[in-house]
A and B are shown apart, each in its own frame.
Chain A
Amino acid sequence: MTKIYREKRSWKTRRDRKAKRIEQLERIAKGKMIPTEKIVEALEAVIFPGDRVVIEGNNQKQASFLSKALSQVRSEKVNELHIIMSSVSRPEHLDLFEKGIARKIDFSYAGPQSLRMSQMLEDGKLVVGEIHTYLELYGRLFIDLTPSVALVAADKADMSGNLYTGPNTEETPTLVEATAFRDGIVIAQVNELTDKLPRVDIPGSWIDFIVVADHPYELEPLFTRDPRLITEIQILMAMMVIKGIYERHNIQSLNHGIGFNTAAIELLLPTYGESLGLKGKICKHWVLNPHPTLIPAIETGWVESIHCFGGEVGMEKYIAARPDIFFTGKDGSLRSNRTLSQVAGQYAVDLFIGSTLQIDKDGNSSTVTNGRLAGFGGAPNMGHDPRGRRHSSPAWLDMITSDHPAAKGRKLVVQMVETFQKGNRPVFVESLDAIEVSRSARLATTPIMIYGDDVTHIVTEEGIAYLYKASSLEERRQAIAAIAGVTPIGLERDPKKTEQLRRDGVVVFPEDLGIRRTDAQRSLLAAKSIEELVEWSEGLYEPPDRFRSW
């Protein structure tokens, strides 16, 4: 037998490295506690050049104290960092690269910093690894992007390091798990230290260090939409969606992307949906952030359950008073979880519906325009047909169009857009701006948000295209053109083909659904203002200042 030579190696290099880091912090930290004013010193001690560092950059919750502190370390001491973030939202996230502290970034969403990121990429000030959806990025934390250091945020901690993350739990458990169980260092900023936590969201044995922040972590109300801004066109489209899609395909469970379009649907369920006798029949189980515009539908008994990616500023008391509907802990407050919500939104719901900025003639859509690198966030994750799905539901089965024995159902993926954006820019275009952006940013693939192949329906103010019924690519194109209004794509439609598609039910206009355009009135909205939402919630919903007019 030939001897296979095996070099003697250590199997615990990661543990040894962790021990070394903790040693560096011995003179600064007292047990698990890092003094607030020593945070920059502490980060300089525990982070090594070239480290992979994950910074909690959720949508809503930002570890702002830690990210600001990181941007203040001396670049001679800490440099060449590889940053992993789901959402690049704050100026100091990119300051890390300007200052030479970090060099490379893997992320999911950079909307709030997209221009600066594009500039820095062009100037060679940062290198992008890959752009991911949220779930993909979380997945890679367990494969090849495992962090050495995780900087996270929580509401409260006790002296053992147990964390309460409450309504804004979001992605914290996932980031911590990937780091803690591969011998990384987890540092959590907290708003306060307390003896008794409302509940334990993350156990202290997973946390290495706690620091009390100098001010509470930043929280953005991103999912609140003022009903006052919903237009009649959006109401018309919402009516078509409820009748032509939700009722037609018997939608039991769904995800609403954020927008005025979907807010209109939420506010039309208790009125228009009620008039169709649909309560208790559809839209029972939801995965989405706690949209205030869903309050009337909850109050009137439409909703059975909601699982949330994150919290929403102002909704805390309302949620705590409705434990039958939301996922709440023994303490009464919401428990959100972005990772699990994204899994649910991918595999366990009948339908995704969202909006976009541009759609090409094949139904591919993108929100990338203007040379910005905005990334993807969660939309592609929800907005695709997960072919690994095996369980069926009535809506999923309704998508079957052939009687082939191996035929399977599909998730409904709906794009809801007006044919023109603000400023008279057509949404339906010959070719996506994203293609040019990917060329100049030298990306490996064009950043398409949702692929035409995955889209089952497109809704515009002109009507609905039931793309899942199209028998060929040509027919799909014709169906899209049929509802693309007076955009260049729409003007190319063949009226004869449109008529045929209408006969075959591939294209449907509002009147075919028994909807008159004049029916689309703001009076149909169950709540027409933020104040009315507060009333519906019996005073429990507390809108943030910028939404108050009183």
Chain B
Amino acid sequence: MAIVFLFPGQGSQQPNMLHDLPPHPAVEKTLEEASEVLKEDILRWDSQEALRSTVAVQVSLFVAGVAVARVLEEEGVSPNMVAGHSVGAFGAAVTAQSLTFREAVSLVKLRGELMEKAYPNDYGMGVIVGMEERQLNRLVSNCFTDEDPIYITNRNAPRQMTISGSVRGIEKVLALAREEGASKAEFLHVRVPSHCVLMKPISEKLRREMETIPFQSPKIPYIANRTARPLRDGESIREDLAFGVAHPVRWYESICVLAELGAQLFIEMPPKSVLTNLAQQVFPCRRSLSIADSGLRTACIVAQRIKENRGR
């Protein structure tokens, strides 16, 4: 249970992220497949301009994640467990073979479109670092109004959380958080209030669309965003992917459960190293690396060594 593949979500995107993927037949194949399903050249989706749309962001992140996961498997590095942050969960589910890449591409595109249409303006997300949840909860409850709702959403580390809701509401909370000693309290470049109850209608639409897709039992444990439990059946994964967008991502607990299940090496798919940094923070004794920073070769070497050391 030693090797974990992690798939990043919105926030990790960067221009040319698909062009910058390692040259490898598995990448070519994945990009081709994506373009076929989308009926467009996927390589048009990672320009700075194109990434202004959350649809392009989500699909590009998803495709990049799966492409590199396939490369690693072809190079002899297979994951024993998977987890993905927000849209990254789709990459995790495909890698666990719960649904096919093609089925997932359409779903991710739909997810992005539904999100984009629902809240075009005045809503967003913020990030707060250096504050206890109890304290932040107090702030958020005090600032909450029906016209300007705000919610605590993702729990990424013990004192690192996101908030989602109306921009005005977020502004209020960020200001108070700064006053009360948060080391960081700022807006995220996301124009949708993800991972809270405001997204319920979208998650329900998504779930209806997913009814016709057959979900298989995953070949390896997939850690759910909503519950931080290891899921071993297709039905639960379908629910997690559909409703995940309307519930907080319990990322910190997910990493803890992975560690308890025996994770020795966390490998983060590109782009960037957001999840690697978080894992390193909470589990400095386990190895974490990102393909973006360390490259494929190092990842393969370290994975090989970990496999050999198992049992020692």
Chain A contact residues, CB within 8 Å of chain B:
91, 112-116, 119, 123, 215, 370, 423-425, 545
Contacts and interface: CB of A to CB of B under 8 A. Distances in A.
Given A119-B227, A119-B228, A425-B159, 16 more contacts: A91-B261, A91-B262, A115-B228, A115-B256, A115-B257, A115-B260, A116-B257, A116-B260, A116-B261, A119-B257, A123-B229, A215-B311, A370-B158, A423-B158, A424-B130, A545-B312
Interface of chain B, main secondary structure = loop
19 contacts: A91-B261, A91-B262, A112-B260, A113-B260, A115-B228, A115-B257, A115-B260, A116-B257, A116-B260, A116-B261, A119-B228, A119-B229, A119-B257, A123-B229, A215-B311, A370-B158, A423-B158, A424-B130, A425-B159
B232 to A, nearest CB: 8
Interface residues of B, number: 16
B116 interface: no
Contact of A91 (B130, B229, B260): B260
A244 B247 CA distance: 53
Contact of A425 (B132, B260, B312): B132
B33 interface: no
A363 to B, nearest CB: 22
Contact of B159 (A123, A215, A423): A423
Interface in B254-272: 256-257, 260-262
Contacts of A112: 260
Contacts of A424: 130
Contacts of B260: 91, 112-116
B143 interface: no
A267 B312 CA distance: 30
Contacts of B148: none
Interface string B96-137: 000000000000000000000000000000000010100000
A433 to B, nearest CB: 9
B124 to A, nearest CB: 27
Contacts of A425: 132, 159
A428 to B, nearest CB: 14
A156 to B, nearest CB: 19
B280 to A, nearest CB: 14
Nearest to A64: B311
A119 B254 CA distance: 11
A91 B256 CA distance: 13
Contacts of B253: 115
A370 B133 CA distance: 11
Contacts of A423: 158-159
B1 interface: yes
Interface string B27-69: 0000000000000000000000000000000000000000000
B256 to A, nearest CB: 5
Contacts of A119: 227-229, 257
A241 to B, nearest CB: 27
Interface string B211-250: 0000000000000000111000000000000000000000
B81 to A, nearest CB: 11
Contacts of B257: 115-116, 119
Most buried by B among A91, A112, A123: A91
Contacts of B312: 545
Nearest to A424: B130
B14 to A, nearest CB: 29
A316 B218 CA distance: 44
A545 B1 CA distance: 21
Contacts of A123: 229
A113 B158 CA distance: 18
Contacts of A115: 228, 253, 256-257, 260
Contacts of B256: 115
Nearest to B130: A424
Contacts of B132: 425
A370 B256 CA distance: 11
Nearest to A90: B262
Contacts of A113: 260
A91 B159 contact: no
Contacts of A114: 260
A113 B261 CA distance: 8
B45 to A, nearest CB: 38
B68 to A, nearest CB: 27
A164 B228 CA distance: 42
A36 to B, nearest CB: 15
A119 B229 CA distance: 7
A75 B148 CA distance: 52
Please name the 4 residue pairs, one residue from A and one from B, whose CB atoms are nearest each other, closest first: A115-B256, A116-B260, A91-B261, A91-B262
Contacts of B261: 91, 116
Nearest to A123: B229
B288 to A, nearest CB: 16
A441 to B, nearest CB: 15
Interface in B142-179: 158-159
